[in-house]
Each structure stands twice: as C-alpha cells, then as structure tokens.
C-alpha cells in the first residue's frame, strides 16, 4: 500500500485557517498559516511499530520569500526551507526522515518567521 495521508485541514491548527481558494490541494482544502512566527499545524500519527519513516509535507508558497518551518517529531526538531513554488496553485513537497515511536506520535510544523508558514496541504508517512 502507499503512504498514509494526513490532511492538514484535519489536524490541530494553531494560528491558521482552512481554505480552498487555490486549486491543486488534496482532500477538502489546505491550511493557510497566519503570517506570524509560531503558527503551526500538528498531526497525530499512530504507528504500529517504532522505527524510521519518511515524512513528506506538501505545500505551496506563492511568494518569493522562503518560509522555513521547524518540524518537531515527539519533541525532536529539524528546520526545513519552504521556498517559493511560483504560485499558490503550484504544490511541491519537502521530505525528511524521523523516528516514530510505537503508538501515538505528534508531528508539528511551526513557522519560524513573521511571514508564517507556506500553505500546507498534507503530511504523508511512508
Ligand atoms: C495570500 C494567499 C494565501 C496565503 C497568503 C500568505 O493571501 O491567497 O493563500 O496564505 O497570501 O501570504 O500567507
């Protein structure tokens, strides 16, 4: 089977809104992060077994400014660039690896600049 897909619009959102005005998203919409440092989306991912996974974040950034985010997995963080994709309707992916625990995992993507995050469509886990 393919990756497990967790839509951003179904996650816990702090300082952001679900929208659907830019085409190309999956599910029923995407999260438009508020343009503030610290805005975040947090997914709850249940893992049958502990171990390494690939996380893929699908996003759009219609500006020319990078909107880096910190990705925290059970409290361990890495920062990734979410550079301009050319249009709000052009979606790209950023991937990283992480170790999941068996059971409940919290995966949080937090904006690190006052521009907020990019628009985020989904998290895929494989
Ligand atoms: C525009 C765009 C939004 C985006 C926002 C931003 O308003 O329509 O989808 O989130 O810019 O800069 O964050």
pTM of this structure: 0.98
The finding on whether 35 has its CB within 6 A of some atom of ligand 1 is yes
Q: Is the pLDDT of residue 40 over 90?
A: yes
φ, ψ for residue 6, nearest 5 deg: -125, 110
The finding on whether 119 has its CB within 6 A of some atom of ligand 1 is yes
What pLDDT score was predicted for residue 75? Answer: 83
Q: Is the pLDDT of residue 7 over 80?
A: yes
Match 């219609």 to its residue by tokens. Answer: 62
Average pLDDT, the chain: 97
What pLDDT score was predicted for residue 91? Answer: 99
What pLDDT score was predicted for residue 74? Answer: 87
CA-proximal residue: ligand 1, atom 10 (nearest): 32
| Cα 88 to middle of ligand 1, angstroms | 8
- The fraction of the chain above a pLDDT of 70, given in percent, is 99
ipTM of the complex: 0.98
Kindly indicate whether the domain formed by 4-125 is annotated with CATH number 2.60.120.260.
yes
Listed by start position, the domains of the chain span 4-125
What pLDDT score was predicted for residue 29? Answer: 98
Match 């947090």 to its residue by tokens. Answer: 42
The ligand 1 atom at the shortest distance from the C-alpha of residue 119 is 10
Q: What is the pLDDT of residues 21-36, one digit of tens each?
A: 999 999 999 999 999 9
- Confidence category of residue 20, pLDDT binned at 50, 70, 90: very high
Length of the chain: 126
CA distance 90 to 22: 9
């Amino acid at each position: 089977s393919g990756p497990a897909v967790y839509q951003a619009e179904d996650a816990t959102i702090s300082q952001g809104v679900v929208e659907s005005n830019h085409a190309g998203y999956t599910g029923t919409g995407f999260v438009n992060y508020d343009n503030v440092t610290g805005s975040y989306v947090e997914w709850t991912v249940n893992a049958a077994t502990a171990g390494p996974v690939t996380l893929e974040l699908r996003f759009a950034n219609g500006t020319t400014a990078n909107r880096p985010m910190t990705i925290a997995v059970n409290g361990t963080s890495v920062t990734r660039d979410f550079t301009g994709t050319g249009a709000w309707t052009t979606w790209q992916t950023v991937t990283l690896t992480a170790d999941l625990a068996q059971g409940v995992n919290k995966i949080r993507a937090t904006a690190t600049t006052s521009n907020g995050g990019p628009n985020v469509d989904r998290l895929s886990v494989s």
